[in-house]
Amino acid sequence: MSADSTNDGGILVIGLGRFGGYLAESLTHLGHEVLAVDRNPELVQRWSDQLDRVVQADATEEDALRQLGASDFQSAVVAIGASVEASVLAVLALVELGGPQVWARATSTKHAKILASVGAHHVIFPEAETGERVAHLIVSKMLDFIEFGADFAIAKVRTPQSLTGRSLAEVRPAERHGVRVVGVQLPGERFRYATDDTLVLPGSTLIVEGSIEEVQRFAALT
């Protein structure tokens, strides 16, 4: 259960359920050094083929985290979802050790408040965030979007038929629709930055920014 001294800048992932396992795998694919930890030997065995460093340990124990060199990591993610108690204890242990930025997964609003109160620097609620995002996509014509608070979003939308054949200077999306077109993908080409001279062609895709309501209304244009 010991760890070497090469953890500086790496990421510690605690909990190898579905969320934690795929998170660790994604971080590894992005080129980050990841140490994944779970106390369930079956999960450790399952992920040992996909991840370079997987350790069986009880991350709710401060001594176990110390032996793993947890304080040397840049970030630690507590991805435990099955047990609120284990999740909170793991966050507490990491905070007591000091060092990494602690990200913690919440499974409910109450759980999120507890994690924040015991010292988690970032609390994520993936089920709620995904549910809200998918709901927006289902009831709108947006192809994809990211919302930054209630008053700003960036979305990928199909070009409304009524706007095609004209330049953005002619279309004037900011004045007429409250959104700014920042990128465009013409048929068969890559996305590129949009300018006033950009010609909006049939079959193109736009990247627009504005409030979520404005972006949704723009995406609904025909």
pLDDT tens-digit map of 152-167: 999 999 999 999 999 9
Number of Cβ within a 10 Å radius of residue 170: 11
Closest by alpha carbon to 194, among 186, 184, 208? 184
Rounded CA-CA distance 194/200 in Å is: 10
Q: Where are the domains of the chain?
A: 11-124, 130-219
- Cβ burial of 6 (10 Å; 0-12, 13-18, 19+) is exposed
- Quote the pTM value: 0.74
Domain at 130-219, CATH class: alpha beta
Q: Give the residues of the chain that fall short of pLDDT 50.
A: 1-8
State residue 128's pLDDT score: 82
pLDDT computed for residue 106 by the predictor: 95
What's the CATH superfamily of 11-124? NAD(P)-binding Rossmann-like Domain (3.40.50.720)
